[in-house]
Structure 1
Amino acid sequence: MDLDRYRTTVAMSDPGRRAGLFDNLPRDPSALAKAVQGLLIHEHIAPAYGVTLSRDQHAQAHIRGVEQILDQIVARDDRPLSASRGAGERQVGVCRHFTLLHVAMLRRHGVAARARCGFGAYFERSQYIDHWVTEYWDEANGRWVLFDAQLDECQRELFGVSFDPADVPRDQFLVAGDAWSHCRSGQADPNAFGILDMHGLWFIAGNIIRDIAALNNREMLPWDVWGAMRLKDSELDQSFFDRLAVVSSEPDAHTDELVALYGDERVGVPRVVFNAVRNCPQKL
């Protein structure tokens, strides 16, 4: 198992010239999650904090890189990142932004961490909602731990979350490959996986590609579309996704294949992706 590839801030997790902002933060994953929660607000949960977002604030959810996220945070408030901002003054993002910033902070302190794309069972009853969480290596116990850095006290109460977000049970968050395998084996209904009016194997397949990309340190927006992603179940190469699902489920047991798959144009992130929310192609 190659932990070193997840100890370095690269590509979108790289804070760049803002790296020094992380240096005075604690190393503890829970303390870092609290810092993230004081810096970000979820685009679609803002009303729970009494915040109505402007058009410009909504646009912040399309920012991909940590350096650019930090640019905007300190432009509004140059206090240390440990200082919680008022809810209406926080940077707007979605689960992927909470995860990516948490991962970047952990990596800056030498902790192996990676973003995982999949589905949370704790937002709507009997539904697995499109979601991202952090997965970090717990040296003391020799295992990967799922951590939902988005779930502060407000959201735990809002969604009735009873487990510890610092150690999310694997049946409460399914990485995309596990979701696919559960559905293909008949253990789960594909129509329970997705978000809003988008559900099915095609949606799970898209998240498998996003998860494989994230495992190769390319943490894309949840609505970025490329490669073998499709809009209908009937258009999927299911045998190909069966194999991708195995790698997503057990990435450390298939390290060489994980890297090789990213070299496949059906999986690897190209220079131009389609932003499905803005309905337009975007250069990276």
Structure 2
Amino acid sequence: MRHAAGLVHRGATFSLAIPMDRTGPQSGRTARVNPQHVMLRHGGDMLADGDSALHGMRSTDDAVYMPLQSSTQWDALCHIFFDGRAYNDRGPESVTSAGAHFNSITTIADRAVGRGVLLDLPRLLGVPWLEPGHAIQDTDVERCLAAQGLEVRPGDFVLVRTGHLARRREEPGWGDYVAGSAPGLGLSAAVWLAEQRVAAVASDTWGTEVLPSECAEISHPVHVLLMVNVGIRIGEIWDLDALAEDCARDGVHEFLLTCQPLTITGSVGSPVNPIAVK
């Protein structure tokens, strides 16, 4: 933590969250829907009160309904099970209709801050984005770190830019961004990150790992490897483009990262507004 704080030199800040609204990215391919923002009291309500609305204190109020993993978000360790077990050998009974009794994302409410490291794979390869199905392997990660003059340390938050979100911005609508083919982490890269004992890994795709999967018999094997077996949390739908541009300009790809989840008791995921500070 102390080292991460020392990475702040310019005071430049970057929000890594996409807008949370009804325009995307959810498209009906899963049970998740886009955030629904509604006004409980707005200016029209005040104006309906006539002249009295123009005197004294008045207020507006609003509410939102959203699946907690419908936008820029964290996966909790209780989000993924394999052969009936989640991280730390927790069974299905550990997540009830009241929420998670163990491994909720709230366990990192006071710890989701530290050194962030950006791996900009498209810039390394000289392309605007990686193509869907492109698997990032351990050798790619090592090559990217060497090109950027970095090393990954235990406890780091590793951010993997594939350019998939940038590609969606160049095309109409979100297409198959949710649950469709995407570039992402391959199994060897996941093993490499686990060996470095990173705190978490996040990316600009819907699932962080490559889709279609390298392991056809297991759904989302990188999630299983990192979350169930090792306890490394995964972040998805992070907007890394502006940060990547700044990192390319000044040649500095490490920064202080704050990315606390909401403290919703028993939640298996959480929206987040990650902030990188350089």
Under a length normalisation based on structure 2, what TM-score does the superposition of the two structures give?
0.23
Name the one with the larger helix percent. 1
Higher-Rg structure is 2
Under a length normalisation based on structure 1, what TM-score does the superposition of the two structures give?
0.22
More relative contact order, 1 or 2 (CA 8 Å, 6+ apart): 2
